[in-house]
Amino acid sequence: MLEIKGLCKYFGGIKAVDDCNFGVERGSITALIGPNGAGKTTAFNCISRTAMPTKGSVWLDGERIDKLRPHQITQRGLSRTFQISRNLADMTVLENVICQSRIGGWRDLMKPAMSSDEIDKAMGILDFLGITRIAYEDGSNLSYGQKKLMDLAALLMSDPKIILLDEPAGGVNPTLLEEIVGHIRKLNDQGLTVLIVEHNMELIMRLSHRIVVMAQGRVIANGAPAEIRENPAVLDAYLGGVLEEAV
């Protein structure tokens, strides 16, 4: 469904992503893992076009998308979250979520700021995530975990067919983490494809169908969790005993 071919992103002499190649199968949960500085988030930025790749290509359902603008990529069904929530603090949760609705062009200028259809859709998503109680809460008053859930709700407003989640478990308490994991599984069961960057190895090992491992901007391993857990190159390169502890 998603193909990354020869993707590179250079910052002067620094090769943040260097000849990166991997694919994401339709209907899968694929994890992109690696140590800090491996190039995972930079790869995400290039895929979603919040950063311009130096070279290489990104393909979604057979269409090249790395030359498109971010909103055009979203319109084609790919949406993402960020490590740090980008909510608008002076707006309610409901308003933040509706901001992510699909853009219909100039005709939208004639519509109310929040149509009844958008409100119904947003409330349905908030209900699915179990956070309707905070729908009218100001975005600045949310806990870190609530912001993560709001970001996920906003993501779903664009009707994506593949979502890129950048560290959804980061800074989240264990109880809320299990809720987020459950939501990801339900969305995947409904047919949504997921690509996830995450440092929580225990979570990755039980959630993912496939794992892509990056180090120093390159893919060094790609396979099922059991294969990655036993891969000598992965263990020797940088993860040490972390994967063994996650079993």
Phi/psi of residue 131, nearest 5 degrees: -130, 30
DSSP 8-state symbol, 153: H
Phi/psi of residue 202, nearest 5 degrees: -60, -45
Give the pLDDT confidence of 227-236 residue by residue, as tens digits: 998 888 887 7
Give the pLDDT confidence of 16-57 residue by residue, as tens digits: 999 999 999 999 999 999 888 899 999 999 999 999 999 999
Quick one: average pLDDT of 132-155? 90
Give the pLDDT confidence of 94-135 residue by residue, as tens digits: 998 988 765 554 445 445 567 888 899 999 999 999 999 999
Phi/psi of residue 10, nearest 5 degrees: -110, 140
What is the spatial distance between Cα 172 and Cα 142, in angstroms, rounded to a whole number? 13
Q: Return the pLDDT at 102.
A: 57
Q: Return the pLDDT at 247.
A: 40
Quick one: average pLDDT of 168-174? 83
Percent of the chain scoring above 70 in pLDDT: 90
Count of all residues that appear for the chain in the document: 247
Q: Return the pLDDT at 108.
A: 52
Q: Return the pLDDT at 29.
A: 98
Q: What distances in angstroms separate CA 127 from CA 78, 95, 148, 197, one per listed residue? A: 23, 15, 15, 26
8 DSSP β-pair partners? 55
Which residue did the predictor score with more confidence, 246 or 68? 68
- Does pLDDT of 84 surpass 90? no
Superfamily holding 2-85+160-246: P-loop containing nucleotide triphosphate hydrolases (3.40.50.300)
Quick one: average pLDDT of 163-171? 89
Give the pLDDT confidence of 199-220 residue by residue, as tens digits: 888 899 999 999 999 988 999 9
Which residue did the predictor score with more confidence, 176 or 54? 54
